[in-house]
Amino acid sequence: MYTVIGLEVHAQLKTDTKLFCGCSADYFQKAPNSQVCPVCLGMPGALPVLNQKAVEYTMRVGFALNCTIPDRCKFDRKNYFYPDLPKGYQISQFDEPLCVDGYLDCEVDGEVHRVRINRVHLEEDAGKLIHAANGTSQVDLNRACVPLIEIVTEPDIKSPEQAAAFMKALRQLLRYLEICDGDLEKGSLRCDANISLHPEPDKLGTKTEVKNINSFKAVEDAIKFEQARHRKILESGQEIVQQTLGWDADKGIAVPQRAKEASDDYRYFPDPDLLPVHVSEDWRDEVRGQMPATPAQWRERFSKDYELPDYDIGVLTEEKETAVYFDQVTEKFNKPKEVSNWMMGEIMRLLKDHDEIKVSASDFADFLQVIDEGQINRNTGKEVIEAAFETGKTPLAIIEEQGLKQISNTDELAQVIDQLLADNADQVERYRSGKTGLMGWFVGQVMAKTQGKANPKAVNELLEDRLNA
Ligand code: ADP
Ligand code: ZN
Ligand code: MG
């Protein structure tokens, strides 16, 4: 049996205002129904005005996904009834979406897999129902009319792992483009998975659609669940019922929600309150000109400018903040591989317990300089960075405060060593008569007298110099 998967992804745009009115689009943790107006409440006669920024953000996605952006797109009404949709229709794009025919490459186990994009369109979100413990439900319309893009893939995905990899690559892209925060748990990025199985490759069987997928793990788990269910039904000679299911992550099962409706049921028609949008070449150029670099462009530059291994580049560019930080550190301390090692090791480890890098790029560069000069050793350095994350102090301040700098100053060390040799003439005699194993003892003594701060290499050199004189 061959599996075929297509994803429909909804991403919330980070615009200041909603798609068709001036209300704030930031509804997170706001008092219910505090960010609403006649337009997003769906009052009769209130007229929508299209948010230009939302269109431009969608165009960014289109460009980054290698789509065509036709000269014209329009908005349509998708009619259905649900209490979170006061107008009785959602404004969406039906047959003339803003972006069409693109692709996104994503990597699974070192292999690049291309997923074609059917379309990217712009639409409004619905409100939210709050189900109270007493069995009643309340409606919060703060989210109503918040801009969403829907990204629809062609059925090019062949496995649950590929689906998760696609979602990860897409989330990364949207975050790099600075148009969506990509938070699956908060619902700013949502994914519906369509899946079918067929005995022959590249053929489409009857599909089911799983909704309510809100983590990368859920993407894989939900598809695996449906894959197994389809296989069992098909292998027993029965037929798949085309339907929509909801993923229950706690129970690990997909629960049937409703029979799949056809698009006819929505009675789509062009919204008479909104004019079609004409996209000129000048406008396209302007938006292209404002595009932040994509993850692929960052990776390419890291490879060219820093000659880092692919593995390092993958880790460093996973989040844009880290990639920017790397750039800044390297600008001041120009040993890319050294910076990469510290970031992939210590910084990434510390980021598991901290929500951001607590040391400024400039302070981190100064710290790496001190390490590079051998003024403190690596292990001490790790403790310093950890302390810097805990306390918010700069690494150099901590090194200073705790007197951690190694003594590499040969004058200072020479003094300690000369005193040591003078105090232990008998040991010196024994060393010179052949007990060279005593070297370790001398080194230990110097370390003890300097509270472990002496640079071991300098100590060894000086001792050899004196003892073999
Ligand atoms: P619908 O009309 O049910 O919305 P679409 O043709 O619009 O279906 O496709 C919705 C999504 O389902 C797309 O991502 C598409 O790639 C995917 N898809 C379509 N047919 C199949 C199939 N037979 N098996 C798996 N995925 C499919
Ligand atoms: Zn409003
Ligand atoms: Mg469809």
Looking from the CA of residue 154, the nearest atom of ligand 1 is 16
Question: If you measure from the C-alpha of residue 318 to the centroid of ligand 1, how many angstroms do you get, rounded to a whole number?
Answer: 30
Looking from the CA of residue 156, the nearest atom of ligand 1 is 16
Query: Of the candidates 233, 254, 284, which is a domain's last residue?
Result: 284
Task: Give me 119's structure tokens.
Answer: 């379309």
Predicted local distance difference test score (pLDDT) of residue 408: 65
Distance between CA 463 and CA 431 in Å, rounded? 11
> Would you say 181 and 175 are in contact if contact means Cβ atoms under 8 Å apart?
yes
Query: Of the candidates 401, 433, 449, which is a domain's last residue?
Result: 401
Distance between CA 242 and CA 4 in Å, rounded? 15
Distance between CA 257 and CA 394 in Å, rounded? 55
For residue 413, give the 3-state DSSP assignment.
helix
Distance between CA 130 and CA 108 in Å, rounded? 39
| Same domain, yes or no: 126 and 198 | yes
Protein residues with CB under 6 Å of any ligand 1 atom = 4-8, 152-155, 194-196, 204-205, 207, 263
| Same domain, yes or no: 327 and 236 | no
For residue 182, give the 3-state DSSP assignment.
coil
> Which numbered ligand comes closest to the C-alpha of 43?
2
Distances (CA, A) of 17 to 143, 144, 181, 279: 11, 12, 15, 21
Cα of first residue to Cα of last residue in the chain, in angstroms, is: 80
Angle at 87 between CA 119 and CA 71, to 5 degrees: 30
Tell me the per-residue pLDDT of 73-114, one tens digit each, with 9 for 90 and over: 999 999 999 999 999 999 999 999 999 999 999 999 889 999
Specify the residue with its C-alpha closest to ligand 1, atom 24: 196
Distance between CA 47 and CA 394 in Å, rounded? 55
| Same domain, yes or no: 301 and 243 | no
Q: Which of 194, 195, 206, 209 maximizes ligand 1 atoms within 8 Å of its Cβ, making it the mutation to test the pocket?
A: 194
Question: If you measure from the C-alpha of residue 83 to the centroid of ligand 2, how many angstroms do you get, rounded to a whole number?
Answer: 17
Nearest to 317 by CA among 307, 330, 327: 327
Nearest to 99 by CA among 123, 122, 124: 122
| Same domain, yes or no: 17 and 124 | yes
Predicted local distance difference test score (pLDDT) of residue 260: 64
| Same domain, yes or no: 191 and 211 | yes
| Same domain, yes or no: 259 and 344 | no
Nearest to 40 by CA among 138, 114, 103, 126: 126
Predicted local distance difference test score (pLDDT) of residue 202: 86
pLDDT in tens, the chain (469 residues): 999 999 999 999 999 999 999 999 999 999 999 999 999 999 999 999 999 999 999 999 999 999 999 999 999 999 999 999 999 999 999 999 999 999 999 999 889 999 999 999 999 999 999 998 999 999 999 999 999 999 999 999 999 999 999 999 999 999 999 999 999 999 999 999 999 999 999 899 999 999 989 999 999 999 999 999 999 999 999 999 999 999 999 999 999 987 766 667 899 999 999 999 999 999 999 999 999 999 999 999 999 999 999 999 999 999 999 999 999 999 999 999 999 999 999 999 999 999 999 999 999 999 999 999 888 888 889 999 999 999 999 999 999 888 777 776 677 888 899 999 999 999 999 999 999 899 999 999 998 888 777 888 888 888 998 888 7
Q: Which of 119, 191, 195, 207 maximizes ligand 1 atoms within 8 Å of its Cβ, making it the mutation to test the pocket?
A: 207
Question: If you measure from the C-alpha of residue 269 to the centroid of ligand 3, how many angstroms do you get, rounded to a whole number?
Answer: 15
Specify the residue with its C-alpha closest to ligand 1, atom 23: 204
| Same domain, yes or no: 9 and 154 | yes
| Same domain, yes or no: 353 and 387 | yes
Question: If you measure from the C-alpha of residue 43 to the centroid of ligand 2, how many angstroms do you get, rounded to a whole number?
Answer: 10
Task: Give me 222's structure tokens.
Answer: 């939900």
Predicted local distance difference test score (pLDDT) of residue 265: 86
Specify the residue with its C-alpha closest to ligand 1, atom 14: 6
> Which numbered ligand comes closest to the C-alpha of 143?
2
Nearest to 166 by CA among 260, 253, 102: 102
Query: Of the candidates 401, 423, 441, which is a domain's last residue?
Result: 401
Question: If you measure from the C-alpha of residue 119 to the centroid of ligand 2, how many angstroms do you get, rounded to a whole number?
Answer: 27
- Listed in order, strand segments (DSSP E) in 15-74 are 72-73
| Same domain, yes or no: 371 and 421 | no
Angle at 21 between CA 72 and CA 87, to 5 degrees: 85
Tell me the per-residue pLDDT of 262-275, one tens digit each, with 9 for 90 and over: 667 899 999 999 99
Looking from the CA of residue 209, the nearest atom of ligand 1 is 12
Question: If you measure from the C-alpha of residue 155 to the centroid of ligand 1, how many angstroms do you get, rounded to a whole number?
Answer: 7
Question: If you measure from the C-alpha of residue 128 to the centroid of ligand 2, how many angstroms do you get, rounded to a whole number?
Answer: 15
Predicted local distance difference test score (pLDDT) of residue 99: 98
Nearest to 80 by CA among 89, 91, 71, 69: 89
Looking from the CA of residue 195, the nearest atom of ligand 1 is 25
What's the CATH number where 448 sits?
1.10.10.410
Task: Say how many domains are in the chain.
Answer: 3
Question: If you measure from the C-alpha of residue 90 to the centroid of ligand 2, how many angstroms do you get, rounded to a whole number?
Answer: 14
| Same domain, yes or no: 388 and 416 | no
Phi, psi for residue 38 in degrees, rounded to 5: -55, -30
CB under 8 A, 24+ apart: contacts of 26-34: 27/142, 27/143, 27/146, 28/186, 30/142, 32/130, 32/138, 32/140, 32/142, 33/139, 33/140, 33/141, 33/142, 34/142
- Per this entry, what is the length of the chain? 469
Distance between CA 234 and CA 400 in Å, rounded? 70
Specify the residue with its C-alpha closest to ligand 1, atom 3: 262
Residue type present at position 149: I
| Same domain, yes or no: 130 and 267 | yes
Domain extent at residue 371: 293-401
> Which numbered ligand comes closest to the C-alpha of 93?
3
- Residue 91: other Cβ atoms inside 10 A: 20
Nearest to 145 by CA among 129, 127, 128, 130: 127
Predicted local distance difference test score (pLDDT) of residue 362: 97
Question: If you measure from the C-alpha of residue 31 to the centroid of ligand 2, how many angstroms do you get, rounded to a whole number?
Answer: 15
Predicted local distance difference test score (pLDDT) of residue 261: 66
| Same domain, yes or no: 370 and 425 | no
